[in-house]
Amino acid sequence: MIQAKVHNIKNLLSLFALSALISAQGNPALNEDTAADLASGKYTVAVLDFEGRGISKLEAATLTDRLSSELANTEAVILVERGQMSEILDEQGFQQSGCTSAECAAEVGALLGVKNMISGAFGKLGNTYTIDAKMFSVESGATIKSVSKSYKGEIDGLITEIEILAWEILKGVVNIMSREKMMLKGWHGVVAGDVPIGAGLSSSASLELALAKAFAVAGDWKWEPQKMARLCQKAENEWVGMNCGIMDQTISALGQKGHALFLDCRSLETKQVALPDSLDVAVMDTGTRHKLVDSAYNERRSQCEEAAAFFEVVALRDLSLEKLLASEKELDPLVFRRARHVVCENDRVLNFINALEGGMHEKAGQLMNESHASLRNDFEVSSEALDLITNCARQTPGCYGARMTGGGFGGCGVALVDSSKSKEFSEAMETGYKASGGKNGMIYICSASEGAEALKP
């Protein structure tokens, strides 16, 4: 909230209500510094009508950028949808809701302390987008510039879907931390990374934990990795809209160099499992991508919950394979296959740990192969590209075993590789996968590293 230094109760409430709306819209979190920024002219508030016009968040953001460019506006734009602005203004007793007049918008602009306001609307008809808006001075009410433009075809915006997702992740982390009453201090930073996006490699979780760590450093508060993992999972569930589990956030928070992490998702107990120096993990990017929020992840989860309810257990981890097999004919065939994957996969995880700790590399690889077959046949989250790249890996010298990773439907596979043959494996795979009909795949020979940490310059 803006800590406004005003005494008029109506103005104070309006300012607080609008700042809450702006925060809810996902714009920069408003605080004392932002209040000063607003007054100094670093932001222009745009009240635009686009709700119910078939315009997505990405399109609205891109059109706002176009509008700002057309207006020759050099300030950052805080976008507020007119309908939501109307609700705030109605509550605060304004006669002209939604800033449909320059006078009303000027009054709101004066409350916020901004120098300029933008008022107008976006439209969309078929593949044509329209912008009708004007920017005017809050102090004088004079129109600075008007824009009436139309664009045909796809809009090539400066904002990509990846940037929108990264922005949503940041907003989600800030939102959850604010609700937890954590002390947040602003910081300036640049986001960069080499984790392939949308490839099933936990890029969202890694960004969430990196952002959380940055806030911890800026705020000088104690870093509690497991707590941060849970909060970041909550941000992804409640804000981003992905009903994911806790695994990705946990490894991003608790990773240790040279170790795999075993996680009990019920108790949240963890165990670091040493990876032998004689083994490397090869990440194999198929060149295909998935959209996890739009994928069948939530559907799979619902099917597993249906199976658990049938057996009256809290989760499928409480179900034995023998009991599941005995009731196969009573279950829907699809639900049965989903449950069989989960029950058997849990056993494979425990056996995989024993294989690593016992130096049984071939056994560990066999378990990875079995896991992929189950993910393909029972859980049905593999893809043609994932099947192809993992099959190529198994036929390449130095590979003990391979499986898909992540949510599936595209993305990456992983292979367990003899470290003495990693280079040859990588070179053979990059040519062999393409020769077998795959895209331009990329092979990354990886080693386990630390989780989210602050690096000293």
Would you name the residues annotated as active-site residues? 248
For residue 99 the two structure tokens come to 């800033």
- Cβ distance 138 to 116 under 8 Å? yes
Residue with tokens 């300012």: 15
Is the alpha carbon torsion for 308, 312, 316, 322 positive or negative?
A: negative
Q: How many CA atoms lie within 13 Å of 68's alpha carbon, on the beta-carbon side?
A: 21
Closest CA relative to residue 443, chosen from 380, 392, 384: 392
- DSSP for 247-302, please give it: HHHHHHHH--TTEEEEE-TTT--EEEEEPPTTEEEEEEE-S----GGGSSHHHHHH
Distance CA 411, CA 384 (A): 11
- Range 103-112 burial, b when 16+ CB lie within 10 A, else e: ebbbbbbebb
For residue 394 the two structure tokens come to 């198994």
- DSSP for 46-74, please give it: EEEE-TTTT--HHHHHHHHHHHHHHTT--
- Cβ distance 385 to 413 under 8 Å? no
